[in-house]
Structure 1
């Protein structure tokens, strides 16, 4: 269930009766504007064809969606029928208005955008709902959410606590909990902000909660005695009748196609061998966007052909190939060439078939004059497989690489450890890096098609890696 049945009915009833919502919902308007701006930024000028909005309320966000993308088919939903009626009055006809619990989406995708403003703090199982919603998105689609978080209305809670009373305001999710709300293999992340709102007095604050439908108490709360309420209100007024709203905004993008981006903690860790094993295991396409060092070797694309015996057309040609054994940017400059970033657009042949995209060196290797390899990883939107050594020195390199990926909101498919089995390093990387170890590949004295075939049989399937994405 999206919520406990009794509590869901209570939430629906309170919002249905929130007749003063339009005039009182100041912060709801602010949050809708912020979420819309983040959504527009993530869309990068693309035009959506279908949009699903969760918990539309009286239509603050709905109106912005309609004005920005008038050609889109918008499905606006809310659990409260009267809220939907007010949204329709605000935005008008031409949209599909539908009663729906955000925790139990019962619509058919795909959608280019799924969004919801200040909805997820009401759900009993938000991560499960997010996973369901992710499956409703089209490739490259955006999931954009905002929620209240722990610390909201702390001033009122403190005033009550000083008077040895408990506030009835809900226990909103913590930042740590919200950080675990994301669709598997989607790029993106959460940002937070604090907004302060001043009321004329404590009674005006409590009236505001009622007018916006947010007066649903937390489970098990027992209302204060009138005398205790008066003391708490007096304490709140003495503190300035101010409350802080703590908000979190999450924007996540579904991978635009099936596949992974292969990078390493540094050069020479075995990216190409691992790429070959994945190509073989998944019957995948292969693309090495930028190749350098051709003066000293044949290059990775011919190596993949030799190791996997895949069809030549399954190995897509590089966008740039250079002689010097340097970073792509430096190798291109040595030849008097400038790499055009437009040539590095993700290849979309057979988009439902996995593609193994192999980077050059590690994440911080310059790819062009303006882009590092990590920038390309973010641009392509594919989950990353990080190849690392299994032995001494790997912890620092691996954990730093994982941190760099997370700071950029790049999804991780997992880590592959190359070399002698090292249970201690595996455990540390799993625990400290909060990442899946996809495989541990022992040292291969003979790198050949036969060894690739053997390792490929031990790797997880593409369906297993993809999961519910």
Structure 2
């Protein structure tokens, strides 16, 4: 299986599903293979450094240490980027400016991961005419595939299917990663795992983001398939209960 190169978007079925840690895991696995990797966050919302909060790109840099991390715009309120810009009285993201920044970064790297905000259709910014644009629009404009980070628990089958259907209607190739597999999975987690799309490309353990960076980087390839620079042919085997 050939690993993804060029520009790859990372989205989710919802907010809080593990996009940042998944992005860090892919970046760590790729970097361990000598792939010059960049991670770009078009919009960071809801982070206040005065309270000791750290940005998503701070987390990625600490855990994965890719060659480059970039945040293009920051908004203080924990809202969708378009709304956060409006509430803060700040300029919304212009998609064409974002495209230029991503392409410029990608020209200097083998792999450029673009982490979205929330889900695929969350409003990211405004066109000059006032129309909103989403991460799906960005993927279409870039002709880029997307990694969909999903929950393991109840509701994930519907949310994942809806996201993949929306992507397929736009011609966006999708891959699925479970962002946080619980330490003590229940029946719903195992049935969801069986019913998720056959092409599952990763399964991260819950709490992976709290690992010491060196441990995280060594572990990341074991959570992902070769398509995402990992060494695991079937992530579902990672969820098998211990015999003892």
| TM-score interval (norm. to shorter) | 0.7 to 0.9
Question: 1:430 Cα deviation (Å)?
Answer: 1.6
Report the counterpart of residue 437 of structure 1 in structure 2: 200
Distance 1:300 1:259 in 2: 19
Q: In the alignment, what sits opposite 1:273?
A: 21
User: Is 1:325 the counterpart of 2:78 in the alignment?
Assistant: yes
Deviation, structure 1 residue 445: 6.4
Preserved CA contact (<8 Å) 1:262 1:386: yes
2:161 corresponds in structure 1 to 399
Corresponding residue of 2:210 = 447
Does residue 1:460 correspond to 2:225, yes or no? Answer: yes
The aligned runs of 1:341-360 (5 Å cut-off) are: 341-345=95-99, 346-351=102-107, 353-360=110-117
- Post-superposition shift, 1:358? 0.4
Matched, 1:424 2:191: yes
1:415 maps to which residue? Answer: 176
**Root mean square deviation, CA, Å:** 2.5
Show the counterpart of 2:136: 374
How far apart are the structure 2 equivalents of 1:280 and 1:463? Answer: 10
- Give the whole-Å Cα distance in 1 for the aligned partners of 2:65 and 2:208: 20
Deviation at 1:416, TM superposition (A): 0.5
State the structure with bigger RCO (CA 8 A, min sep 6), 1 or 2.
Answer: 2
The superposition leaves residues 46-73 of structure 1 with CA deviations (integer Å, 9 ceiling, x where unpaired) of xxxxxxxxxxxxxxxxxxxxxxxxxxxx
Q: Secondary structure at the match of 1:294?
A: coil
**Counterpart mapping for 1:26-45 below 5 A:** none
Please name the residue that 1:300 is paired with: 56
| CA pair 262-463 structure 1, distance change in 2 beyond 3 A | closer
Corresponding residue number in structure 2 for 1:174: none
TM-score scaled to structure 2, two decimals?
0.75
How many angstroms does 1:368 deviate by?
1.1
Structure 2: distance between partners of 1:260 and 1:423: 28
Do 1:390 and 1:425's aligned partners in 2 also have CA atoms closer than 8 Å?
yes
Listed as ranges, the gaps of 5+ residues in structure 1 are 1-183, 186-254
CA distance in 1, matches of 2:226, 2:104: 21
Matched pairs, number: 204
- 5+ residue gaps in structure 2? 32-36, 127-131, 231-244
